[in-house]
Structure formats: C-alpha cells, structure tokens
Amino acid sequence: MNADRAAAASKPIKTAISREDGIDFSIIELLFFAYRDFTSDPDQILAEYDFGRAHHRILHFVNRRPGLTVAELLDVLKITKQSLARVLKQLIDTGHIVQVQGPRDRRQRELYPTAKGRALALALARPQSRRIHDALQGAGSSDRAVVERFLKAMVNPELRAQIDNLPGNVPGKVDGD
Amino acid sequence: MNADRAAAASKPIKTAISREDGIDFSIIELLFFAYRDFTSDPDQILAEYDFGRAHHRILHFVNRRPGLTVAELLDVLKITKQSLARVLKQLIDTGHIVQVQGPRDRRQRELYPTAKGRALALALARPQSRRIHDALQGAGSSDRAVVERFLKAMVNPELRAQIDNLPGNVPGKVDGD
DNA sequence: AAATTTATGTCAATAGTGCTGACATATTTT
DNA sequence: AAAATATGTCAGCACTATTGACATAAATTT
C-alpha cells in the first residue's frame, strides 16, 4: 500500500474523539461558538461604515482609556505598529479619533475619541452588552462573579494587570455587589 | 471652526466611557482577552505545520463528528464552500483527513480523520483544555455548570441544537455531575 | 554639543482567511 | 429527459495581520 511515502493512504478513523484523553471539548467548542456570535453583532454595524473588527477594538480601547498613547494601544492589542497604522488613520480621517501631542513628551500622540467616536463605540457595545445581559438572565449575581473569574483566569497571568487598569475593573470588586 | 465639513476638528473627549449607558464593559473586554489567549496556544503548534486557525477548526469538527459531509461542515463553520476548499485540500494532501464517498448518496464526501489527523487534533486541544482546567481550579462543579450555561446562552438560539449534536454534549447534562 | 535611544509614521511585500461570482461534473430526484 | 443537489475549482477582491526597512522629531545619555 506504500503508506510510508505520502500519508495519503491512511485509514479513516470512524470513532468520534471524546473525553478520552481528558480533553474538555464542551467548553472548547462553547467558547468558539459563543465568541463567534458575540462578535457578529457589532460586525453588522461596522459593515455600514466599511470598518472591520480592528476598528472596533481600537475605538473601544481609546474610549475606555482616553489619552492613551500609540505605544500603549499597541501593547493592549498586541499587534504591530504597521497593523495599527492603517486602521487608526482611517478612524482619524473619519473624525472618530483625534490625536493630541503629549504634554510631557511631545513625541507621544495621545489618542482621544470625539463625540462621533464615542457614539459609535457605544453603538457597537450595546448589542454585545445586551447579549451578555440576556445570557445572565435568571442567573444570580454570584453566577456573574463566577463567569468573570473564569474569563479572567483564562487570560495569560502577565496580562491580567492590564485588565485591572481599565476603568471600573477594580481587581477584587465584582459588578453588582 | 468649520466643524460641519469634515468631522476632523472635533474636540477630544477626556472622560473614560464606563457603565454609564448600562454597557457591560468588564465582560466584553474579558471575552476579548480570554479568547485571544485561548487561541494563542494552538496557534503556536499550527505554525510549525504552516497551518492556521481554519485548519484547526476543520480538524476539530472532523474529529468530533467523523463522517460528516462537506455540506454539514460548512453549516457548522458558517463559511463558504470556497473558503473551506483551500484549507480542506491542504489537510487532505498532508494526510490528516481522508474523504470517503457517501454510501447512500455517492455525490457526498464523508470526511474522516486519519491517525495523523487525530493526533494533531488532540495536540491542539490539549493546551486549551489545560487552560480551561486551570481556570476552573478551585471552582466547584457548580461553577463549571454556570460557565457552560453562560457560554451556551451567548450562542444564537438557532445554533444551540448544533452544539447538542456533538458527542458528549447531552443537552441537560453537565460534565462533572 | 554630539550621539543614541525612543515614539511615531510610512513604504513595500507577504500571508491567512474570508468573500462573491461563475462555471464544471457527477449523481439523484422529479 | 430535465431539474435539482453535492461537490470542486478558477479568478478576483477585501481585511487583518505580519516582517523589514527607513524617516522624522524629540528626549536622553555621554
């Protein structure tokens, strides 16, 4: 059969993969489906502006931390300067974001949303927030805390500090308490 | 000031967006960070094979539902035939997946993993499963149920049936009970 | 003051993943 | 025989991300 040359002639496995190797497929799949639908809400709005997810993310963090510098934004998003440039330029050209020369260090460009940028950020967040709210319907406030703890624990430890630096995310505190 | 022509001269907003409009920013952001780090684990392994996330998803579902047809796979992934084609072809050429002519309908191609494809699917799922396991450390089994319920509720209702059709995901049942 | 580092911007090329539209083939259904 | 279905394939385009190279201005170091 010459199964040694190309692996092409390998036999089909007909049994489904399951929990055999202690792999947590349920949550792996749920995260995939949940995130896909979670991002589909704003995607529809963005399409009207000829924007993509990258625009959304930038707009979001500039609204969450007005005055952050380009370097800080790159650090939060974990993308390269070149990837950011094009998208940020569009947001500036369309008047959603403005740049202000840094007061201490004049090389820096502080990024601020405009009223237009603030409005779009809110419009994009609204359906996502509603989806989360609906998903937590009937769940107690302790359930909300469980979900928050879980998601935060999924983040790489080095990056958890970043999350705490965002407004309203006091480390120990849980919304609704 | 001519703020009417281009929105270019709009004033910077210096206050951070917060919970003002009842938007749930904490969980929105947590989902972003959690999902990013969650997918970064397999991405590193995939890079060694010159594969991407698309390969991972296909490999995953072919392993979870061996024998599924191309049409079924398209339905689960919610992508187009043309998008699938390139990536699926690579997985077949590299001997990770084999096609078998449908027994009832000979137009159909049933997709099965090979031993090689099964092994890769497991290798990719392992770090994700470990991350989930670690994130649930110290949480009770009821916490796990809370997380599963939340994630499932985040998925569009029409699609929840699909999830239940995957092995080991009995609708009412929760792992660990 | 000169040299170096830092923050940002920009140009060019490339990759991965998705899309639409069009068309071909084999097979099943009507 | 005709129509519908399942799949495959070609061509072109869009978006997001990458790397490498280079430019400018401002701050820091020597």
pLDDT of B4 > 70? The answer is no
pLDDT of B173 > 60? The answer is no
Q: Which two tokens stand for residue B2?
A: 């001519």
Kindly indicate the confidence band of residue B170, based on its pLDDT and cuts at 50, 70 and 90.
Answer: low
Secondary element (H or E) of residue B38: helix B25-48
Over residues A38-63, the mean pLDDT reads 95
> What CATH topology corresponds to A24-160?
Arc Repressor Mutant, subunit A (1.10.10)
pLDDT of B160 > 50? The answer is yes
CA(B58)–C1'(D4) in Å? 28
Over residues B143-170, the mean pLDDT reads 89
Residue with the larger pLDDT of the pair B61 and A164: B61
Query: What CATH number labels B39-139?
Result: 1.10.10.10
Report the distance separating Cα B141 and Cα B151, nearest Å: 16
pLDDT of B169 > 90? The answer is no
DSSP string computed for A90-129: HHHHTTSEEEEE-SS-TT-EEEEE-HHHHHHHHHHHHHHH
**Distance set, CA B47 to CA B38, B41, B44, B54 (Å):** 16, 11, 5, 12
pLDDT of B165 > 70? The answer is yes
Kindly indicate the confidence band of residue A9, based on its pLDDT and cuts at 50, 70 and 90.
Answer: low
Report the distance separating Cα B66 and Cα A51, nearest Å: 38
pLDDT of A22 > 90? The answer is no
Instruction: Give B 121-140 residues with CB within 8 A of chain A.
Output: 121-122, 125-126, 128-129, 131-137, 139
Interval B19-70: pLDDT, tens: 877 899 999 999 999 999 999 999 999 999 999 999 999 999 999 999 999 9
Per DSSP, A157 falls in state: G
Q: Looking at beta carbons, which residues of chain B come within 8 Å of A93?
A: 8
pLDDT value of residue A171: 56
pLDDT value of residue A44: 93
Q: Which of A162, A31, A166 is nearest to B131 (CA)?
A: A31
pLDDT value of residue A5: 43
Instruction: Give A 74-93 residues with CB within 8 A of chain B.
Output: 78, 93
Mean of the per-residue pLDDT values for chain A?
89
Interface check A44 vs B, CB under 8 A: no
pLDDT of A78 > 80? The answer is yes
pLDDT of B162 > 90? The answer is no
Nearest to B168 among A19, A60, A148 (CB): A19
Interval A61-70: pLDDT, tens: 999 999 999 9
Interface check A100 vs B, CB under 8 A: yes
Over residues B92-107, the mean pLDDT reads 96
Positions 30-59 in A, CB within 7 angstroms of strand D: 50-55, 57
pLDDT value of residue B176: 40
Nearest to B7 among A26, A30, A114 (CB): A114
% helix, strand, coil for chain A, step of 5: 60, 5, 35
pLDDT of A127 > 60? The answer is yes
pLDDT of B7 > 50? The answer is no
Residue with the larger pLDDT of the pair A95 and A162: A95
Kindly indicate the confidence band of residue A177, based on its pLDDT and cuts at 50, 70 and 90.
Answer: very low
pLDDT value of residue B9: 62
pLDDT of A115 > 90? The answer is yes
Over residues A21-43, the mean pLDDT reads 94
Are the beta carbons of B112 and A15 separated by less than 8 Å?
no
Burial annotation B84-105 (CB, 10 A radius, 16+ → b, else e):
beebbebbbebbbbbeeeeeee
pLDDT value of residue A138: 84
pLDDT of A156 > 80? The answer is yes
pLDDT of A172 > 90? The answer is no
Percent of chain B with pLDDT over 90: 78
Residue with the larger pLDDT of the pair A176 and B40: B40
pLDDT of B115 > 90? The answer is yes
